Amino acid sequence: MDELVDAPGESGRAVLGRTLKYLREKHGKSLGQLAEDSGYDKSYLHRLESGHRLSKMTVMEDLDAYYETGDLLVSHWKVARLDAFEDQYKRFMKLEATARVMQKFALGVPGLFQTEAFAREVLSGAQTTADGDEVVEEMVAARLGRQYLLQQKPLPDVRVIMDESAFRRPASRAKTWDDQLLRIEAVAMWPNVTLHVLPFSVGVHHHMTGSLTLLWQGDGSAVAYREGNGCGELIADEDGALRERLSYDRLRDLALSPSDSLAFVRDVLEEHRS
């Protein structure tokens, strides 16, 4: 497949689009025929091939099955989705993809826990341009695509602290919020995920301005990523990562236990439904 050799400086999205076009033409299909066979809109498929749109990962899974290409398109998609993020965040995401241990603190519902409808509502607020809807859909696809990290093999050990404020800002639609709370409850019961809720009763704390993620690789190396006020910082030096780990541990000591946290989520869900 010499036609698929990457061009210098070519984006992951462009490589994915070119691969999609190559496979379609190799199988002797027009865009119209592919649309009819796959059930996806012809103009949508064209935007994917031209690199103007990022799909959800499930679309690539469907097309991999259609072309019998194993996980070729899914693999290209995982690279292409990085185009939606800033350079420093791309570095963080590459490390996140191979981490064996993840520890996170979030003021809101973390992206790894969000439903599609909730993510779309969160991401829609900042888009005011004419092509805002398409931008939002790309961002939603990229965010949902990260969620495979929670269940990739080998399963990473994931611990998440959610500030109570995440549960006090519901979605605008009752069903969206109901589904989101159910999603949090379900993920919290996965064997590799531990959830803590940090209640308002602890008062002010040292991470009120943003989120924190700690990642450990299989070789024991660790990095931290702090995000807030519209910017992020990757902390890769040993002393800096250790400092952030200790700050995370202090926050965890203030949070509810996993069982009490799960009960808290269920109480919020019951309050919402009453």
Blockwise average pLDDT, block size 10, the chain, 274 residues: 51 86 93 93 89 83 94 87 64 89 96 95 71 80 89 95 96 96 98 97 90 95 86 86 95 97 98 93
Nearest to 92 by CA among 232, 240, 261: 232
Q: Which domains does the chain have, with CATH numbers?
A: 7-82 (1.10.260.40), 86-273 (3.30.870)
pLDDT attached to residue 1: 44
pLDDT attached to residue 107: 95
pLDDT attached to residue 3: 47
pLDDT attached to residue 21: 92
pLDDT attached to residue 15: 87
Report how far residue 77's alpha carbon sits from residue 219's, in angstroms, rounded to the nearest whole number.
Answer: 27
Token pair 């990642």 in the structure block, residue:
215
Write a three-state SS string for 106-160: ECCCCHHHCCHHHHHHHHHCCCCCCCHHHHHHHHHHHHHHHHHHHHCCCCCEEEE
What is the per-residue DSSP string for 187-246? HHTSTTEEEEEE-GGG---TTTTSEEEEEE-TTS-EEEEEEETTEEEEE-SHHHHHHHHH
pLDDT attached to residue 150: 94
pLDDT attached to residue 129: 54
Token pair 């807030």 in the structure block, residue:
228
Token pair 């076009």 in the structure block, residue:
21
Report how far residue 235's alpha carbon sits from residue 230's, in angstroms, rounded to the nearest whole number.
Answer: 17
73-93 b/e (C-beta count within 10 Å ≥ 16 → b) = bbebbbebbbbbbeeebbbbb
